[in-house]
Amino acid sequence: MTSLPFPLTPEPDEASREAGRLLFAGACDFVKGVTTMEALPPADRIEVCFAGRSNVGKSSLINALTGRKALARASNTPGRTQEINYFALGPSRYLVDLPGYGYAEAPKPIVERWQRLLKGYLAGRQTLRRAFVLIDTRHGIKSVDEEILNLLDRSAVTFQVVMTKADKVSQAEREAVLGQVRGALKKHPAAYPELVMTSSEKGLGIETLRTIIATLT
């Protein structure tokens, strides 16, 4: 079998799946919403963040992972998450929901303030173990995504692409967009060499992502 570059993460084995299940069956509580770097909680545990264009499905994915429908706000209005939102997952992990990028409709000074915060966070958080960069399965990687991927390369933050809203496209479209994504990722040294295909709506890829988060060290 030829192995494609950037294959999908294989289905987890039983033991890893159990680790993911256990972690996410435990407590997950909102800690705080942050609007300045100074207000970040103490860097005392591993964290993973969810980055992506406005409306790509970051908050919905956190809700699906934690099995709580409205833990992270999800809405139809792009640009809804305007702060860096911290959730404590058990005693040893933070899940971090980020404001979306690439949203042009909000007032310019406000957008610029979020973007500065987002970039400061992505480039400067020592305990950030992995950035999940969400890409809409209908659209693939766009130039606004490239900006963030370049920043992650420069900051040496490992990022893993998570395809979202897979339920909205056919299998053939999924494959075509995956091809585009794989091509784009070749240029990014900080890219983790596996992708995850998800649908928060249908639960696709959620166990896999739970396992990934649970087994990070």
Ligand X SMILES: Nc1nc2c(ncn2[C@@H]2O[C@H](COP(=O)(O)OP(=O)(O)OP(=O)(O)O)[C@@H](O)[C@H]2O)c(=O)[nH]1
Distance between CA atoms of 141 and 125, rounded to whole angstroms?
A: 24
Distance CA 80, CA 114 (A): 12
Q: How far is CA 189 from CA 45, 150, 164, in A?
A: 25, 9, 22
Shortest distance (Å) from residue 154 CB to ligand X: 23
φ, ψ of residue 64 to 5 degrees: the values are: -65, -40
Stretch near ligand X under the rule CB under 6 A, chosen from 5-13, 22-30, 70-78, 174-182: 70-78
What torsion do the CA atoms of 121, 73, 197, 128 make, to the nearest 10 degrees? 20
Q: How many helices (H) and strands (E) does the chain have?
A: 6, 7
Helix (H, G, I), strand (E, B) or coil at 17: helix
Q: Does 100 bind ligand X (CB under 6 A)?
A: yes
Taking CB under 6 A as the criterion, the residue among 48, 56, 161, 177 binding ligand X is 56
Residue placing its CB nearer to Mg ion in the complex, 61 or 185: 61
Q: What are the distances in angstroms from CA 152 to CA 25, 83, 155, 188, 190?
A: 31, 19, 5, 9, 7
CB of 193 to Mg ion, least distance (A): 27
CB of 143 to ligand X, least distance (A): 17
Binding status of residue 52 toward ligand X by CB under 6 A: yes
Strand spans (E) along 9-71: 28-34, 46-52
Least Å from the CB of residue 102 to ligand X? 9
Stretch that binds ligand X, among 27-35, 105-113, 153-161, 198-206 (CB under 6 A): 198-206
* Closest separation in Å from C-beta 136 to Mg ion: 13
Give the CA distances from residue 154 to residues 147, 148, 184, 211, 215, in Å, rounded to whole numbers and listed in that order: 11, 10, 16, 27, 25
Q: Is 75 in the site for ligand X (CB under 6 A)?
A: yes
Question: Which residues, 39 to 68, sit near Mg ion by CB under 5 A?
Answer: 58-59
81 binds Mg ion (CB under 5 A): yes
Single residue of 9, 160, 199, 208 touching ligand X by CB under 6 A = 199
- Which residue in the block uniquely carries the two structure tokens 């766009």? 142
Identity of residue 41: P
Instruction: Find the binder of ligand X among 168, 175, 189, 216 (CB under 6 A).
Output: 168
Q: Which residues bind Mg ion (CB under 5 A)?
A: 58-59, 81
Q: Which residues bind ligand X (CB under 6 A)?
A: 52, 54-60, 74-76, 78-81, 100, 164-165, 167-168, 199-201
